[in-house]
Homo-oligomer: A and B are copies of this chain.
Amino acid sequence: MTTPEPIPFFSAAQDFASGKDTPRALLERCLARLDAFEPRVGAFVCHDIKAARAAADGSTERWRAGRTLSPIDGLPIGIKDIIETANMPTEMGSPLWAGWRTGRDGASVAALRECGAVILGKTVTTEFATTGPRGARNAWDAERTPGGSSSGSAAAVACGMVPVALGTQVVGSILRPASFCGCVGYKPTVGGINRGGSYDYFSQSCTGALAASLEDAWIVAINIAARAGGDPGYPGIQGPLEPPAPRRPRALAMLETAGWEGAVPEARRALEVAVARLVAEGITITDRHADQNIDAVERAIFDAAGLTRTINAWEGRWPLNTYRNRDASKLSQSALDRLVTAEAMTLADYRGAISQRQQIRELHGRLAVQYDGAITLTAPGPAPVGIGWTGDPAFVVPGSLLGVPTMSLPLLSAEGLPLGLQVIGYASGDARLFEIATAVRDLLQARA
């Protein structure tokens, strides 16, 4: 078994027009990885290789004819199995929904088809994209979790089965698995990508991408948003339809979050080395000890996990209550426990929680005056051993709570395993986040 390595799309597509490479050939390279890794990794719930090959052939023809539908025409992609697909079931990681077919595409999937993307299959999600792993494994070490809840999406991208897979994040479900699997994870500004047809009802949840590269993450997200928009009532992701050019940040905040205390020494050291390199390049990086505004944000986000649990518990009351009525034996104990928590809450409790969240968002937003963004670890260490737990979200839940765009870049390592560097932006500043994250990546890769 070789080391897992993503297969990027954006760079490959540079050769599509000339015919030196083709979408079909790219798909076949992905399928070879599927053959090699899938028996051990289990990233997919189902796939449709025949349909994918036909779609890739159509795309190959369009590239040849100069009539591509979008910059992601021909992109093989996996869809997290909480998002509806017309030609495949949507099982939500739950035996209650085994074989469930709706006959329609979710908004993001419909947009992907309009773009000419090649839908390869549905990727494993934990139960209802919350807790409760469903068997996917880490391609770097099959004894370890790939993270969750977008477990299969990260696992598939990490070893090149697809260059990109859709994920969703309400706590840490995109960035955490990206860190554990060694791929890029991008969670947009909340509301950035239309969640229509995604069985995902949390107010701070967002559809995003696990991707082989930062460029791939962007072109997928922006080209979906251009067609499907954001969630109804939201402006959606804004920016160019091609990858934003790198723009070096002037100043970044270094956030500890609640994760720093528990981070393994090698992870802390990896971040410190990266920070030192960026400082050496002339970027100002400031932490809570040097700026009381950052310290105020650190204190406000310290219990991001607790506040998120409260908000999610209330918002998850439905549909769990109707699922419990249908067949409680098919729900995990953690789902049943969350429902009990929800039923002990009042709407007034919930109002208090979302009001507190709003205050924290406003406090964080004021950092934009001083800092172009923030950096920190994505996880306190590499993927933990065992597939019964998807890992600690302490470093990533603040980005979810804040509703800001945030990204994990596979630039660090610990114990010889991948570890993400997290870059955090500001609400509606997704393109700006990509600009600075690209610059950070380029600087750190040049020096590595």
A contact set with B: CB distance below 8 Å? 86, 103-107, 110-111, 113-114, 194, 196-197, 201-204, 225-229, 232-233, 235-236, 238, 314-315, 317-319, 321-323, 325-326, 346-347, 350-351, 354
Query: Does B226 contact A326, Cβ atoms closer than 8 Å?
Result: no
Query: Does A326 contact B196, Cβ atoms closer than 8 Å?
Result: no
Q: How far is the CA of A326 from the CA of B105 in the complex (A)?
A: 10
* Shortest beta-carbon distance from A246 to chain B in Å: 24
Q: How far is the CA of A20 from the CA of B384 in the complex (A)?
A: 65
Query: Does A319 contact B235, Cβ atoms closer than 8 Å?
Result: no
| Chain B residues whose CB sits within 8 angstroms of the CB of A203 once the complex forms | 232-233
Q: What is the chain B residue whose CB lies nearest that of A105?
A: B322
What is the copy number of this chain in the assembly? 2
| Chain B residues whose CB sits within 8 angstroms of the CB of A323 once the complex forms | 104
Q: A229-B315, A236-B347 are in contact. List 13 more A-B contacts (CB 8 A).
A: A104-B319, A104-B323, A106-B318, A113-B325, A196-B201, A197-B318, A201-B232, A204-B233, A226-B346, A228-B317, A228-B318, A229-B347, A233-B354
Name the contact of A326 in the complex, choosing from B104, B317, B319 (C-beta under 8 A).
B104
Query: Does A315 contact B235, Cβ atoms closer than 8 Å?
Result: no
Q: How far is the CA of A194 from the CA of B317 in the complex (A)?
A: 11
| Chain B residues whose CB sits within 8 angstroms of the CB of A228 once the complex forms | 317-318
Q: What is the chain B residue whose CB lies nearest that of A104?
A: B322
Q: How far is the CA of A314 from the CA of B350 in the complex (A)?
A: 31
Q: How far is the CA of A26 from the CA of B226 in the complex (A)?
A: 53
Query: Does B86 contact A354, Cβ atoms closer than 8 Å?
Result: no
Q: What is the chain B residue whose CB lies nearest that of A316?
A: B232
Given known contacts A196-B201, A232-B315, A235-B354, A225 and B322 CB-to-CB distance under 8 angstroms = no
* Shortest beta-carbon distance from A282 to chain B in Å: 36
Query: Does A110 contact B321, Cβ atoms closer than 8 Å?
Result: yes
Q: What is the chain B residue whose CB lies nearest that of A345?
A: B229
Most chain B Cβ neighbours within 10 Å, of A226, A238, A354:
A354
